[in-house]
Structure 1
């Protein structure tokens, strides 16, 4: 099957095979299932419809990014009142910043995988 999409991108997750290769959608589904809470990854509809699973993963990541952003931006104001020493606050801020970078990287990967899944689905359906 020939696809117009090329995953030649630093955002393409190494856990997902190249579109068009054998079992690539299965590898994408497996990777996406790891990104959502386990109860969602076990719903048969989401497993059978990887585009829906990818959509849910995108939404899940948006919420996680929002949570980490809130924690990062409120750390300096709230943690001293909780008795946290400055060194712990600094380490916490670094932890949140690293997590934000990681979540943004994963979100970019989900976007490119979603695009490839949609294109693959459309090719199968003759669109």
Structure 2
């Protein structure tokens, strides 16, 4: 028997694939990533693979927004905030970018697992 494996980057809120209730934990986690209004769409709640795709797109869009914010922050804020405030804003964007990179990896892994991919332990 093959033991269920969660690969590096797998979200701790989601049980590994093929364990009891793993899909329920995945669905709840994916909904938490998405805008609250997504909970009201029955099709997303019924079709986990569709919810996963929506979640991936949502996290990718957030990451793109942060990247844009990083590229424009200094120019956009220099006339309305002190240099210390601008640098603090840039640092916040950098922290958010790092968080989103991890979340993007996790949500992609969950989507792959929902689509049937399984992971094996390697030595």
TM-score normalised over the length of structure 1: 0.86
Using the alignment, how far apart are the partners of 2:2 and 2:61 within structure 1? 35
Counterpart of 1:55 in structure 2 is: 53
Using the alignment, how far apart are the partners of 2:33 and 2:74 within structure 1? 29
1:33-89 superposed Cα distances (whole Å, 9 cap, x missing partner): 00111111221111111110010011111111111111111111111122x001111
Structure 2: gaps (5+ residues):
118-123
How many angstroms does 1:2 deviate by? 6.6
Matched, 1:45 2:43: yes
Counterpart of 2:26 in structure 1 is: 28
How many angstroms does 1:7 deviate by? 1.9
**8 and 104 in structure 1: CA distance in 2 versus 1, 3 angstrom threshold:** same
TM-score normalised over the length of structure 2: 0.88
Counterpart of 2:96 in structure 1 is: 99
Verify the 8 A CA contact 1:71 1:96 in the aligned structure 2.
Answer: yes
Using the alignment, how far apart are the partners of 1:98 and 1:14 within structure 2? 20
Greater helix content: 1
1:64-118 superposed Cα distances (whole Å, 9 cap, x missing partner): 1111111111111111122x00111111000000001101110100010011111
What is the root-mean-square deviation in Å for CA atoms of aligned residues?
1.8
| Count of aligned pairs | 117
